[in-house]
Amino acid sequence: MRKKIVAANWKMNMTQGEAARFVDAFLLDIGEINNVDVVIIPPFTAIARVTEALGRAHNIKVGAQNMYWEKSGAFTGEISAPLLRDLFVHYVVLGHSERRTLFGETDEMVNRKMHAAHEAKLRPIVCIGESLEQRDKGNVEKILSTQLHGSLAGLKPKELQETVIAYEPVWAIGTGRNATPAQAQEAHAFVRHTLAEMADKTTAERVRIQYGGSVKPDNARELMSQPDIDGALVGGASLDPRSFAQIVKAARNE
Ligand code: PGA
């Protein structure tokens, strides 16, 4: 049984004060969290404040939205895996489609970051997904396969098992148009099948695959009840503590 994992990707939003208020409201609303992993992924500037506000809520982890693959040195403007560990960060999003399209990240760059993250004991959440044009041309599987092989190259089975994959169809991100549960399940099953080919069946069965793209309180439960959908990476709807709490509750089946 894979434990579900629900993550709040705040993108370039939330001041320190807003982040602290979010955490207070979210903790009040959510109560006990036992059978689902929850991750809050603020901008770098609010990470320390979120950790502080979480206090003893140790079962909620903090993530970062990106990192560079070198450990330290003359890389102005970049943040490394050891610097994130220093802030008690547990997860890092790699290869989000906004990084790929707006900042030119390639599968090869994502792969270097993957290796650096694992070396620092950070758990990567690696994002993959097709554009609408690629879907319309019938290229979904080809794109997913290329992204998986490129970004996961050289990982050991144990590292793969500690990697979270987020299937985020680009046309569903921030558009209000989510993939249907059936479309998402089909893509997730293909991802798991590809992982089994790249590693082995046991490894593939253990990897958690999140769905991302316009996840909201009213579609979360149906999406996450699909057999190969193991959680959600939530953007817009994660900026409101109540709606994010509802999505987490949908994952724990209430
Ligand atoms: P969205 O973003 O929920 O606002 O569509 C998801 C993401 O980009 O991770």
Closest atom of ligand 1 to 237 CA is 3
Q: Which candidate in 96, 98, 118, 130 is catalytic?
A: 96
Does the pLDDT value for residue 150 go beyond 80? yes
Average pLDDT, the chain: 96
The pair of three-digit structure tokens given for residue 37, joined into one six-digit string: 């992993």
Q: pLDDT value at position 33?
A: 83
Q: Is 168 a catalytic residue?
A: yes
Domain ranges (residues) in the chain: 4-252
pLDDT at 254 over 80: no
pTM above 0.95, yes or no: yes
Among 98, 159, 162, 168, the active-site one is 168
pLDDT score for 193: 98
> Does ligand 1 come within 6 angstroms of the Cβ of 101?
no
213 Cβ closer than 6 Å to some ligand 1 atom: yes
Contact 168 CB / ligand 1 (< 6 Å):
yes
The answer to whether 188 is a known catalytic residue is no
Query: Is the CB of 95 inside a 6 Å radius of any atom of ligand 1?
Result: no
CATH number for domain 4-252, candidates 3.40.640.10, 3.30.450.90, 3.20.20.70, 3.30.2290.10: 3.20.20.70
Ligand 1 site, residue 173, Cβ cutoff 6 A: yes
State in Å: Cα 130 to ligand 1 middle.
14
Ligand 1 atom nearest to CA at 127: 9
Give me the mean pLDDT over the 155-170 stretch: 97
Give the pLDDT confidence of 65-93 residue by residue, as tens digits: 999 999 999 999 999 999 999 999 999 99
- As a whole-number percent, the residues of the chain with pLDDT over 70 amount to 100
Nearest residue CA, atom 7 of ligand 1? Answer: 235
Please write the tens of the pLDDT for every residue from 5-54.
999 999 999 999 999 999 999 999 998 888 999 999 999 999 999 999 99
Residue 8 Cβ contacting ligand 1 at under 6 Å = no
**Position 103 confidence tier, pLDDT thresholds 50, 70, 90:** very high
Instruction: Quote the percentage of the chain above a pLDDT of 90.
Output: 94
Please tell me the distance from the alpha carbon of residue 10 to that of residue 46, in angstroms, as a whole number.
10
The three-state (H, E, C) secondary structure of the chain, written as one string: CCCEEEEEECCCCCCHHHHHHHHHHHHHHHCCCCCEEEEEECCHHHHHHHHHHHCCCCCEEEEECCCECCCCCCCCCCCEHHHHHHCCCCEEEECCHHHHHHHCCCHHHHHHHHHHHHHCCCEEEEEECCCHHHHHCCCHHHHHHHHHHHHHCCCCHHHHHCCEEEECCHHHCCCCCCCCHHHHHHHHHHHHHHHHHHCCHHHHHHCEEEEECCCCHHHHHHHHCCCCCCEEEECHHHCCHHHHHHHHHHHCCC
239, pLDDT greater than 90: yes
